[in-house]
């Protein structure tokens, strides 16, 4: 990736000599941006463009060029790419549209281009890319069409939508958001978001990476990269197409159907991404992390300093409703604040200085609040009073105090119109709206928590292939085969037996004790309950005989008789599935009426560590039912987590499995056993 983002020299192939063209804008940006490497132009029609000589053909270029930007039409891309490869250029960015996003012909062209690149050892960004940028002072590369001159800073931005990317570069100027790297991925036919993410996170110039993704064609790779890198730097993800209608719109736009709308967000969140729902939120977090400091603890406590009650209350509501809490100030802090605050000011947290609070008072109060060990973050709100002085000294001073105390300081300055640029001057996260500052504080704390969790994360403790290979398992397997598979991985089930006659069934039932359950063993019947293939709570030998007669296919396959379990267990749903884009996933939901009606199931990318499974469980609101409930003791979380991990391992070990669903899994209370009561398996997965 270094040759893409820090190339020693660049060739612009197909650059136009006319000034009002995209390629002319790009060339201009490259020159204006101060790029220090060599710029080589290819244009057969003119001798120079803007003072730079033109080579008539790619073949005429000098040796040793790191990167070629192809601005030729789509139909010339293959030929030009081959020429670049012939000239030893190993990195190519294809700007032209007219590929997968433009229908079948384009899709075939894209496939040919990708194959050609692969065959010739060329790495390729695009096609349909809007350029790339690396504003690291050592590189100063702006190879984009951005009409605005982007400011250098510490946010990297990787985008699947070029148009949106260029718009963001424009908006960012008003948001005080400076960039380190920017890449318009285009169709992501070769170089993926995951590879670029890895590069950007490794750059000292980058403090946060923002990603805008529409399709998740390389979702599995991105999830793995996130899981590996989120502990190092915050990764902010905006995934569009989260609703079914949005996913269809995204598909018609990118030519790639998004995966299972609605579930991807949760999976990415649990993989360590900070998932946002809007462009504005993405920019807010970009500002928060590129200019702000990540708190060293995750105490979730903040102090608020304001000169107007209303905005202070709005910020408090926003932060508290997201799980933060107002710090309880130490008595010394309150005393010191009292001594320095204007008469009538409220020195409890939130501290309200009244409209009289001048900058010096603000800074002295901020210092006292930051000195309080119970304060993890400081939010500063200043509504400019009609006559108040408004100088940049406040933000400067706050930035210095944050530095001194090693704590995040965020600001919202609801300023008068007289000096709007004030907001934009200093290196501290500052927002127009108090709620935005509060959201930023929440994000900083969430990331601090995430980083701690990542640092603590160990292995699963579940051995791979614990159950050995299952080569002997019939296809499709019947219920008793599945229970044996689960048992091989340490997941128990109520005692069961395969029986061929009512008498055998009764003998087993007497042995384990009534009541029992009788189930069909016909492997062709997938939806057993709906087909009348399951009879529950059979209390007597007579009922068992009747049930045996009622169950389908007993003559051919026999039936499964199983102990009917009563206890304080909680019914949960546990599943494994293999998604074509996101890879192997673990599913979890609450069982019983809560799930059937409230229908809450969440997913987690595998492999995963125990703390991720804990998060998966907590992400389902109905999981409160696992706690003490209606006089029942709480379910044993650790054993539930282990059972889920073991189920996931079965899926990971058997590429032929598309999906497994255990429903219900009985989550154990105290001395009970965690038991799989019913299990369904779908074959046909293929890693």
Nearest distance in Å: CB 166, a second copy? 6
Binding residue for a second copy, selected from 39, 82, 173, 454, defined by CB under 8 A: 173
Q: Stretches 367-375, 543-551, 566-574, 594-602: which one binds a second copy (CB under 8 A)?
A: 594-602
514 binds a second copy (CB under 8 A): no
Buried b (16+ CB within 10 A) or exposed e, 206-244: bbbbbbbbbbbbbbbbbbebbbbbbbebbbbbbbbbbee
Give the nearest distance from C-beta 221 to a second copy in angstroms.
21
x/- mask, a second copy, residues 94-123, rule CB under 8 A, reads: ----x---x---------------------
Count other C-beta atoms under 10 Å from residue 262's C-beta.
Answer: 12
The stretch near a second copy (CB under 8 A) out of 51-59, 144-152, 395-403, 610-618 is 144-152
Task: Tell whether residue 597 is a contact of a second copy (CB under 8 A).
Answer: yes
**Residue 387 touches a second copy, criterion: CB under 8 A:** yes
Q: Report strand pairing: 409-414 vs 430-431.
A: parallel
Q: Which two tokens mark 424?
A: 């934009």
Binding residue for a second copy (CB under 8 A) from 122, 428, 594, 606?
A: 594
Verify binding: residue 424, a second copy, rule CB under 8 A: no
The one among 385, 393, 494, 495 contacting a second copy by CB under 8 A: 385
Nearer to a second copy, 343 or 556 (CB): 343
Given 14, 434, 610, 648, the residue binding a second copy (CB under 8 A): 434
Query: 3-class SS at 455?
Result: helix
Of 7, 127, 153, 311, the residue at the interface with a second copy (CB under 8 A) is: 311
Q: With CB under 8 A as the contact rule, which of the stretches 19-27, 198-206, 554-562, 633-641 interacts with a second copy? A: 19-27
**By CB under 8 A, is residue 11 in contact with a second copy?**
no
Q: Which stretch binds a second copy (CB under 8 A): 85-93, 431-439, 543-551, 679-687?
A: 431-439
Out of 194, 225, 383, 660, name the contact with a second copy by CB under 8 A: 383
Q: Which is nearer to a second copy, 111 or 174 (CB)?
A: 174
- Of 214, 372, 481, 636, the residue at the interface with a second copy (CB under 8 A) is 214
Distance between CA 553 and CA 316 in Å, rounded? 64
What's the length of the chain?
Answer: 687
| Start-to-end Cα distance in the chain | 27
Identify the residue among 216, 250, 440, 595 touching a second copy (CB under 8 A): 250
Among the listed residues 116, 152, 313, 454, the single contact to a second copy using CB under 8 A: 313
Token representation of residue 641: 């987590």
- Considering only 141-149, 358-366, 464-472, 679-687, which stretch makes contact with a second copy by CB under 8 A? 141-149
Whole-angstrom Cα Rg for the chain: 31
| Strands (E) located in 91-140 | 91-94, 123-125, 131-134
Other beta carbons within 10 Å of 187: 27
Residue 314 is a binding residue for a second copy (CB under 8 A) = yes
Sign of CA dihedral 305, 309, 312, 316: positive
On whether the CB atoms of residues 493 and 676 are closer than 8 A, the answer is yes
384 contributes a contact to a second copy by CB under 8 A: yes
The residue count for binding a second copy (CB under 8 A) is 89
Contacts of 255 (CB under 8 A, 6+ apart): 100, 101, 102, 103, 106, 107, 187
CA distance 181 to 150: 11
Q: What number of other Cβ atoms are within 10 A of residue 188's Cβ? A: 26
SS3 272: coil
Per CB under 8 A, 279 contacts a second copy: yes
Q: What is the rounded CA–CA span in Å between residue 175 and residue 152?
A: 13
- Report yes or no: 575 and 661 within 8 Å, Cβ to Cβ: yes
Among 115, 464, 487, 629, binds a second copy (CB under 8 A): 629
Q: Residues 342 to 371: which contact a second copy by CB under 8 A?
A: 344, 346, 348, 350, 352, 355
């Amino acid at each position: 990736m270094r040759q893409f983002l820090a190339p020693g020299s660049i060739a612009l192939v197909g650059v136009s000599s006319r000034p009002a063209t995209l390629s002319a804008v790009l060339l201009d940006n490259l020159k204006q941006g101060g790029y220090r490497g060599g710029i080589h132009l290819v244009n057969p029609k003119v001798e120079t463009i803007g003072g730079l000589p033109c080579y008539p053909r790619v073949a005429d270029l000098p040796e040793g060029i790191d990167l070629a930007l192809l601005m030729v039409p789509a139909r010339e891309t293959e030929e030009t790419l081959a020429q670049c490869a012939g000239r030893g250029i190993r990195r190519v960015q294809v700007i032209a549209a007219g590929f997968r996003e433009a229908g079948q012909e384009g899709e075939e062209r894209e496939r040919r281009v990708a194959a050609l690149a692969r065959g010739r050892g060329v790495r390729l960004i695009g096609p349909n890319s809007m350029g790339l940028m690396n504003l690291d002072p050592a590189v100063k590369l702006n190879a984009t069409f951005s009409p605005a001159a982007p400011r250098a800073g510490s946010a990297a931005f990787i985008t699947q939508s070029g148009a949106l990317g260029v718009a963001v570069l424009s908006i960012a100027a008003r948001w005080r958001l400076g960039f380190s790297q920017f890449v318009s991925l285009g169709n992501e036919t070769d170089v993926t978001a995951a590879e670029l993410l890895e590069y950007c996170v490794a750059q000292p110039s980058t403090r946060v990476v923002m990603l805008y993704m529409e399709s998740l064609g390389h979702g599995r790779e991105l999830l793995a990269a996130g899981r590996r890198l989120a502990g190092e730097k915050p990764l902010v993800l905006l995934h569009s197409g989260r609703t079914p209608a949005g996913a269809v719109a995204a598909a018609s736009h990118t030519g790639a159907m998004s995966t299972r709308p609605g579930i991807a967000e949760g999976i990415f969140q649990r993989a360590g991404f900070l998932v946002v729902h809007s462009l504005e939120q993405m920019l807010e977090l970009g500002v928060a992390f590129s200019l702000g400091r990540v708190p060293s603890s995750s105490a979730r406590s903040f102090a608020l300093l304001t000169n107007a009650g209303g905005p202070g209350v709005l910020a408090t509501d926003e932060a508290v409703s997201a799980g933060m809490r107002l710090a309880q100030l130490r008595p010394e802090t309150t005393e010191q604040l009292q001594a320095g605050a204007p008469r009538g000011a409220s020195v409890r947290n939130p501290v309200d200085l009244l409209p009289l609070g001048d900058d010096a008072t603000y800074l002295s109060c901020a210092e006292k609040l930051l000195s309080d060990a119970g304060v993890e973050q400081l939010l500063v709100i200043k509504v400019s009073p009609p006559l108040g002085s408004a100088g940049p000294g406040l933000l400067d001073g706050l930035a210095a105090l944050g530095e001194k105390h090693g704590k995040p300081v965020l600001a919202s300055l609801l300023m008068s119109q007289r000096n709007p640029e004030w907001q934009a001057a200093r290196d501290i996260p500052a927002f127009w709206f108090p709620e935005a500052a509060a959201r930023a504080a929440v994000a900083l704390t969430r990331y601090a928590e995430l980083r701690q969790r990542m640092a603590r994360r160990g292995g699963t403790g579940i051995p791979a292939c614990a159950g050995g290979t299952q080569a002997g398992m019939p296809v499709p397997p019947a219920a008793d085969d599945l229970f044996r598979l689960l048992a091989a991985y340490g997941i128990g089930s109520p005692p069961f037996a395969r029986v061929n006659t009512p008498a055998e069934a009764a003998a087993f039932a007497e042995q384990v004790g009534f009541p029992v359950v009788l189930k069909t063993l016909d492997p062709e019947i997938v939806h057993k309950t709906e087909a009348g293939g399951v009879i529950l709570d059979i209390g007597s030998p007579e009922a068992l005989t009747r049930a045996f007669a009622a169950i389908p296919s007993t003559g051919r396959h026999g039936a499964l008789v199983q102990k009917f379990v009563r206890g304080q267990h909680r019914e949960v749903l546990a599943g494994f599935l293999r998604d074509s884009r996101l890879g192997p996933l673990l599913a979890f939901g609450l069982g019983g009426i809560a799930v059937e009606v409230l229908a809450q199931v969440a997913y987690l990318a595998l492999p995963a560590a125990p703390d991720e499974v804990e998060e998966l469980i907590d992400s389902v609101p109905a999981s409160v039912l696992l706690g003490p409930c209606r006089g029942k003791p709480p379910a044993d979380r650790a054993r539930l987590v282990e059972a889920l991990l073991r189920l996931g391992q079965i899926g990971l070990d058997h590429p032929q499995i598309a999906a497994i669903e255990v429903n219900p899994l009985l989550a154990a209370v105290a001395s009970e056993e965690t038991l799989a009561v019913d299990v369904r398996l779908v074959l046909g997965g293929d890693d």
